[in-house]
Amino acid sequence: MIPVNSVLQVGHFPELMQAEINRRFSPTCLLDPNAPPPEGNFQAILVRSNTKLPEALVKQLPSIQLITTCGVGYDNLPLGYLKQQGIKATNTPGVLNDAVCELAIGMMFGLMRRIPEAHEFVKSKAWSKGLFAITTTLAGKKVGILGMGRIGQDLAKRLEPFKVEIIYSGPSKKDVPYRYIADATELARESDVLFLACPASPATEKIINAELLEALGPSSYLINIARGSVVDESALLYALQQKRIAGAALDVFDNEPNPDSAFLDLDNVLLTPHIGSATSETRIAMTNFAVDNLEAFFNQQPLLTEVEN
């Protein structure tokens, strides 16, 4: 049981998720995270990983003991302040792997086979005037994964049947049947397609920089389903404009929901509005996972997924 007036929901949740929350309990809502909080003795905050939780807001709520974020990434939380105050945080790992991997694979093929342009080609009747572009086959290529965690490993399993060699990089070698390359730039150099599946953190900020993109090279593709901050967007824009890489499929950006408009002018990109986990099955599972964490907290049970901070 989650006591009434004990949880502050910060930010807007899509209708489907809000209905699921309301089915489980009745939060008090603060739709604008930068507005003053309502009166109340809240012990927990419920937020989505797409909503940045301001440190200033948490500071105004001294009774808060838990932040539950609905999403696996928790770079939206004021982690330094939470650690300093001993405030715990939970996320929703695992339940979104299927949706994120399905999108990542779809984006890869969409980009490499130019499916959105091919669709427009038929719809606009351009087909009657000429042939569509010749594109690229995935089979026989090397696919790199930066971040061989839960999503990275699920992605690799899905890629195996496509007759590719899988290579990966990250802080530690994993117990997986793929070749480990410690250095991210060397991973890029060997990759024909490079997926980003690492978390946003000080260590990964702009890890995809000009040097790495140069190593990736003019016939290779970048797929980012991680976070915008992982990529130096100026360097990526330059690489795309100058055709220093073959193309990029991007689900995440530095400035969401208003990505740098220079991306919109490019013809070697496939852009999606941060929809990695945006399927009804996944969003319902994520919402329930987040509420299960709240219930565990109020029932004085161990949290299901406490984030390392």
The alpha carbons of the chain give a radius of gyration, in whole angstroms, of 21
- Sign of torsion over alpha carbons 78, 20, 251, 207: positive
204 part of the interface to ligand NAP, by CB under 6 A: yes
Known catalytic residue: 283?
A: no
What phi and psi values does residue 167 have, to the nearest 5 degrees?
-130, 160
Strand partners, 193: 143, 221
Known catalytic residue: 119?
A: no
What number of CA atoms fall less than 13 Å from residue 220's CA on the CB side? Answer: 22
Closest chain position to ligand NAP (CB): 149
Using alpha carbons only, give the angle 54, 204, 183 rounded to the nearest 5 degrees: 175
DSSP line for 99-126:
HHHHHHHHHHHHHHTTHHHHHHHHHTTG
Candidate residues 53, 198, 212, 215; the one interacting with ligand NAP per rule CB under 6 A: 198
Q: Which stretch binds ligand NAP (CB under 6 A): 22-30, 59-67, 192-200, 279-287?
A: 192-200
Candidate residues 66, 146, 240, 249; the one interacting with ligand NAP per rule CB under 6 A: 146
Nearer to ligand NAP, 102 or 295 (CB): 102
* Residues 225 and 195 sit within 8 Å (Cβ to Cβ): yes
Listed residue (74, 81, 10) closest to 40, CA to CA: 10
Q: How far is the CB of 106 from ligand NAP (least distance, A)?
A: 12
- Mask: binding to ligand NAP, 273-302, rule CB under 6 A, as x and -? -x-xx-------------------------
What phi and psi values does residue 303 have, to the nearest 5 degrees?
-65, 145
194 part of the interface to ligand NAP, by CB under 6 A: no
96 part of the interface to ligand NAP, by CB under 6 A: yes
Catalytic residue of the set 48, 227, 233, 283: 227
Catalytic residue of the set 120, 211, 256, 281: 256
Candidate residues 11, 78, 110, 170; the one interacting with ligand NAP per rule CB under 6 A: 170
Residues with active-site annotation? 227, 256, 274
Binding positions for ligand NAP, rule: CB under 6 A: 72-73, 93, 96, 100, 146-152, 169-172, 197-200, 203-204, 225-227, 251-252, 274, 276-277
